[in-house]
Amino acid sequence: MPKRPSDVTHAPISHSTDARAPMPDEPTPLLGNRTPRQFMRRYWQKKPLLIRQAIPGLAAPLARDELFALADLDDVESRLITHFRNAWNLEHGPFAPDELPSVKKREWTLLVQGVNLHDDRAHALMNRFRFIPDARLDDLMISYATDGGGVGAHFDSYDVFLLQVHGKRRWRIGAQRDLSLNPDLPLKVLQHFEPEEEWVLEPGDMLYLPPHIAHDGVAEGECMTCSIGFRAPSEHELTAQFLYHLAERMSDTQDTPKANARYRDPNQEPVEHPAALPAMLTERVGAILANVDWDETDVAQFLGSYLSEPKSNVVFDPPERPLNEDKFVQRAKKSGIKLDRKTILLYNAKSYFVNGEAEKLSAKAKKWLPELADSRGLEAKRFVTLTDDSAMTSLLYEWYRAGWIQIDPSA
Ligand code: SIN
Ligand code: CO
């Protein structure tokens, strides 16, 4: 059983990765001394932006071997892309370290998805981008490449911040219309790439790209790049998932007379053509479907559950020897609590959504849950002021037992 990198090293989180997201009107080096509001208005989903020294002094959140160790795990999504002898090849992980090419060999790259779920340093780095709603943030991917390595010229359907964390990478980008892909390759590579701009990025430099900008990043020597990626479900996916959600909601109310109503045809005439689908049947079913009702609350309930659902490969690690509830409360009063890296907690005015489950946001929970969700934790002092709410402590205890929240084991 390969060891998890975060179990292997206990490196302190460096000051450069342990930082909060800037406030909306706070100028920040992360965005080239622009405020998040200026960035969102001028660049987000609109045009590329190169930011030199977005995070000055930034070191790679993971060492090369730590990244390779992650790529060896079953619950981590990884890909190996090689470009040996001018031929593109793609393989999916997990990869044992001896299944990866030698680091001395040129032109290969390893991509490890969702590193923020497995490593605190990567998670802290991604949290700098929480001036964009969590509902849009997807994950932090790390790519490792040897000299000349890359994934070919391509485009993505999502916004991305490409943050150089080790070595150098030459990026070429272009806003071309022709996005046709080479059909003979195992990965997305553009048939014709027409770069318009070119830069070499060094550690701490960052390139923001909106969707559909053609780009090609080639390592100059050994290099590592973090991609902070966003999620934007297709309209087709949203519609299909919402209809599924509605069907589930209906099966929850199965005992109501409406849910039990069935198709009836007391006026059906005898037929000469038994195989013909009766027009009346189509009409009636159309009327039944037109009667399916949903409103904004259903949409919000659906979105909250759908967007807080962990990816299918996510596994929580409940504590092996959990504290009892009293001890848990005592410990949390001393050290505070924090959401596990893998926990997704969203809320709106009426409900909260945790790891795919929707719950009503009670008046009492309004006092602390939005705060817990936004700061992904409650400090010890704050926890103490809330402990007379036994509903809160028992709910958080349940989450602790499920591995959804953590308390500092050393406190
Ligand atoms: C990479 O980091 O090698 C690829 C990232 C991308 O172009 O989307
Ligand atoms: Co890309």
CATH of the domain at 17: 2.60.120.650
Instruction: Check whether residue 35 and residue 177 sit in a common domain.
Output: yes
Cα 215 to ligand 2 centroid, rounded to whole Å: 6
Q: Is residue 263 part of a domain?
A: no
What is the model's pLDDT at position 252?
76
Instruction: Check whether residue 25 and residue 168 sit in a common domain.
Output: yes
Instruction: Check whether residue 337 and residue 188 sit in a common domain.
Output: no
Q: Is residue 274 part of a domain?
A: no
The verdict on the CB of residue 109 being under 6 Å from ligand 1 is: yes
pLDDT at 10 over 60: no
What is the model's pLDDT at position 358?
96
Instruction: Check whether residue 206 and residue 329 sit in a common domain.
Output: no
Q: Which of 174-183, 243-252, 349-358 has the lowest mean pLDDT?
A: 243-252
What ranges in 215-275 are assigned the alpha helix state H?
235-252, 257-260
Instruction: Check whether residue 212 and residue 340 sit in a common domain.
Output: no
Q: What is the CATH number of the domain that holds 380?
A: 3.40.366.30
Q: pLDDT band at 410, cuts 50/70/90?
A: low
What is the model's pLDDT at position 220?
98
> Mean pLDDT over all residues of the chain?
93
* C-alpha distances in Å from residue 194, one per residue of 154, 179, 181: 11, 10, 13
Question: Which atom of ligand 1 is closest in space to residue 150's alpha carbon?
Answer: 3
Q: Is residue 301 part of a domain?
A: no
What is the model's pLDDT at position 349?
96
What is the model's pLDDT at position 22?
97
Cα–Cα distance measured from residue 224 to residue 162, given in angstroms and rounded to the nearest whole number: 10
Point out the domain boundary residue: 230, 248, 264. Answer: 230
Range of the domain at 391: 325-406
Q: Is 40 helix (H, G, I), strand (E, B) or coil?
A: helix
Instruction: Check whether residue 178 and residue 57 sit in a common domain.
Output: yes
Question: Which atom of ligand 1 is closest in space to residue 143's alpha carbon?
Answer: 2
Question: Which atom of ligand 1 is closest in space to residue 149's alpha carbon?
Answer: 3
Residues at Cβ < 5 Å from ligand 2 ion: 156
Cα–Cα distance measured from residue 1 to residue 66, given in angstroms and rounded to the nearest whole number: 15
The verdict on the CB of residue 225 being under 6 Å from ligand 1 is: yes
Cα 345 to ligand 2 centroid, rounded to whole Å: 28
* C-alpha distances in Å from residue 47, one per residue of 39, 128, 159, 207, 214: 10, 21, 10, 11, 12
Q: What value does the mean pLDDT take over residues 186-200?
A: 97
Q: Which of 384, 389, 378, 302 is nearest to 346 (CA)?
A: 302
| Ligand with the closest atom to the CA of 225 | 1
Q: Is residue 20 part of a domain?
A: yes
Q: What value does the mean pLDDT take over residues 370-385?
A: 96
Cα 4 to ligand 2 centroid, rounded to whole Å: 27
Instruction: Check whether residue 34 and residue 171 sit in a common domain.
Output: yes
Point out the domain boundary residue: 230, 246, 279. Answer: 230
For ligand 1, atom 2, which residue shows the shortest CA distance? 143
Q: Is residue 200 part of a domain?
A: yes
Instruction: Check whether residue 340 and residue 212 sit in a common domain.
Output: no
Point out the domain boundary residue: 214, 230, 246. Answer: 230
Q: Is residue 236 part of a domain?
A: no
What is the model's pLDDT at position 171?
98
Cα 50 to ligand 2 centroid, rounded to whole Å: 15
Instruction: Check whether residue 333 and residue 222 sit in a common domain.
Output: no
Instruction: Check whether residue 223 and residue 345 sit in a common domain.
Output: no
Q: Looking at 150-296, which runs of residues are DSSP E strands?
A: 160-174, 197-201, 206-209, 214-230
What is the model's pLDDT at position 5?
46
**What Rg do the C-alpha atoms of the chain give, in angstroms?**
25
- The pLDDT tens digits for 79-109 are 999 999 999 999 999 999 999 999 999 999 9
Q: Is residue 88 part of a domain?
A: yes
Instruction: Check whether residue 348 and residue 208 sit in a common domain.
Output: no
Instruction: Check whether residue 201 and residue 335 sit in a common domain.
Output: no
Q: Is residue 235 part of a domain?
A: no
The verdict on the CB of residue 152 being under 6 Å from ligand 1 is: no
- The tally of domains found in the chain comes to 2
Nearest 5°: the CA angle 347, 353, 354 is: 125
